[in-house]
Copies of this chain bind each other. A is one copy, B any other.
Amino acid sequence: MKVLGVVVEYNPFHNGHLYHLKKAKELINPDFTVAVMSGNFVQRGEPAIIDKFSRAEIALEMGIDIVFELPFLYSIQDANGFAFGSIGLLDRTNVVTDVVFGSESADIKTLNIIAETLYKQPEDYQILLKKYLKKGYSFPNARKYALIDYFETKKLLDKDEILIIEKSNDILGLEYLIALKKLNSKIIPHTIRRKGSNYNDENFSGNFSSATAIRKLWKEKKYDLIKASVPSKTFEIIKREEQLGKAPIFIEDFEISFLSYLRTLSRDNLKKYYGVNEGLDQRIIEAAKHTNTIKELYHNIKSKRFTYTRIKRTLLNIYFGITNELIENINNTGPQYLRVLGFTEKGRELLSVMRNRVEYPIITTPSNYISIIKNIERDLKNKRKMWSIDKKTYFKMIEYDFKATNVYSLYYKNKEYSKYELDKKMKIIYRKGKV
């Protein structure tokens, strides 16, 4: 049995995603395809434009058999943490055999050689890394120069080959490979060349608009142009959610809440939050006091040392009170559950196979999250089944998923949907019939 796993955000699902999924399936020819998808907040440190329930619904229509939710605490981390969480989750399904990821280079052999070095951290490499860090280079640059020197000495790779680690998808791909090694996973990684516009391209470019471009079109209410860039199911759900008053959601909707809260903080409170270091605390405190828009806030915090996404993610960490300690812990334990947002009729078969294999709970009814643990404890006591769960981390992790949804839902224009804990109220999405 071949099971293809993909790591996605689908924010929103567009023609490029469909192309990638089709190519991945052609490459693997899987019996099943599953996705691990970010929830209501995404890796660029922003709320998703449309909520996770709707995005899962679309994914199931487009050929994914099971959509797992990447726990919130991984979804807003840098490439390293994001990859560890998502690959960890796919690994813990105990059914995924292959992962396919988009890549600018599509050069898996080179990526694997670099990943091996970054995973094993040989002493020669560490010395070089320290040297470049001491010279004042940012971590990504120090790493790059250290790798160039290291491989030049070893005569393994030349400079041009190493420079693939400058492209966003290759960087993420590299982290997927490192995560697979760290997890000692049996999953086989594959790459396919990315098609369509660049991730950060804000300009519309025909049928293969980026998710960024599509979000911009939605903000500008250019529905015809969105329609041309997304599968009809995406368009249908976009329209439906907008009519319900649940989408689109933009970071600007959080503007006054974020700024107001930041203005209550002191510099000495900030360092405990993940990502706040190297003087970022002062930049954040000062910027918040002197601006009244979120874009200006980012701009005023920005410096050479900090990328925009780093800043945006860090602000989310502060807002949600996500500490260094917590992230260090979860980047050690990995995901503690497999939360299913939705599945197809075919996906249901796979879920029943999984049930006999997993060492972490499959969560289909999140409101049962406490009784799930009680059952696991009973199993462990009776030695009925092997579970690898860390109870304390499990609770922290899932409660953060709930928090993320509870905060997100407050920003729906239709406040009727803001009155409940949607994670506990929404039924799991089940798509009947063949896709």
Contact = CB atoms under 8 A, between A and B. Distances in A.
Contacts of A206: none
A128 to B, nearest CB: 41
A292 interface: yes
Nearest to A420: B290
Interface in A246-305: 254, 256-257, 259-261, 263-266, 269, 289-292
A235 to B, nearest CB: 29
Interface residues of A, number: 29
A319 B264 contact: yes
A32 to B, nearest CB: 36
A415 interface: yes
A261 B269 contact: no
A34 to B, nearest CB: 30
Contact of A263 (B263, B264, B403): B403
A259 B411 CA distance: 11
Interface string A303-343: 00000000000000001110000000000000000000000
Contacts of A264: 319-321, 403, 407
B415 A292 contact: yes
18 contacts: A254-B260, A256-B256, A256-B257, A256-B410, A256-B411, A257-B260, A263-B406, A263-B410, A264-B319, A264-B320, A264-B321, A265-B321, A266-B399, A290-B419, A291-B419, A292-B410, A292-B415, A292-B418
